[in-house]
Amino acid sequence: MKIEMYQAPQSTCSQKVRVTLAEKGLPEMNKDWIEHDIDLGKFEQLEPDYLKINPNGVVPTFVHDGTILIESSAILEYLEEIIPEPALAPGDAVGRARMRAWMRYIDEVPTVAVRVPTFANMLAPMRFAKSNNADFAAHADRLPLRKQFYQRMSQTGFGKDELEYAEFQIRQTCERIDAAIKEDGGPWIMGAQYTMVDAQMTPLIDRMDDLGYAFLWEDDLPEITAWLKRIQNRPSYAAAFYPGARISERYPEVYRTASDLKAERGY
């Protein structure tokens, strides 16, 4: 089979598909699958040719034997169906229902929350700080899917209230994961089996760690701290987070340390 993916190295949604491809035994870009790198900094995801294959104007877009698929969580479930081994879903109906409940929660809460500090701390100041209000508004109008997300922030990012709520949501997510690992015995979120839930969470917790926000969990949530270390020791992590894939590596000029963030946030 021929697999292609239109993706960006630093995109968390692209990363979770790369993690899953590696877990399914397809770790190497341009050997096991073909990469088409979309430059988000140049807004190539909004170019007319790209919008023809992904009208949402986001990455990734997945192509399997010519069939185009979008939405990263749906792509994970599709990979589970076309490459059933090794299994990344429980073998029973109840287990699969629990897995999908986790996946919906991850899509609705931490996935959205992680975008806030990412844009506030890194991308908005770098991309839009010199834009005037009219240019910034015009850019938001171009977005098929995230217009309101952009309209909630300024050219320099999000305000204090938005950041605090995003931190609350990430903390809630970490507490739930920590409790689940304790209850089910780990070492993974749903117990002994590594599942799509782990693959889906990996880029989000890694992003917060990369941005300096590990203080949200590392002092009093030992299970998720240990989970992240186990994740980062898996071969799939090295395959998905190749050099330059972490946002601090890609944009070192605007990176801030955990100490800076703690001081700003009053921790």
Q: Are 9 and 242 in contact (CB under 8 A)?
A: yes
The answer on pLDDT for 159 being more than 90 is no
What's domain 3-82's architecture?
Answer: 3-Layer(aba) Sandwich (3.40)
**d(C-alpha 9, C-alpha 7), whole Å:** 7
Average pLDDT, the chain: 91
**d(C-alpha 225, C-alpha 189), whole Å:** 12
Domain boundaries, the chain: 3-82, 93-265
Q: Whole-angstrom distance between the N-terminal and C-terminal Cα of the chain?
A: 51
pLDDT in tens, 81-101: 999 999 999 999 999 999 999
Give SS3 for 33: strand
CATH code of domain 93-265:
1.20.1050.10
**What backbone torsions phi and psi does residue 100 show, to the nearest 5 degrees?**
-65, -30
Give SS3 for 36: strand
**What backbone torsions phi and psi does residue 35 show, to the nearest 5 degrees?**
-100, 135
The answer to whether domain 3-82 and domain 93-265 are alike in fold is: no
Q: How much is the pTM?
A: 0.92
Q: Which of 31, 36, 33 has the alpha carbon at shortest distance from 11?
A: 36
**Average pLDDT rounded to a whole number, residues 12-34:** 97
Name the residue type at position 138: A
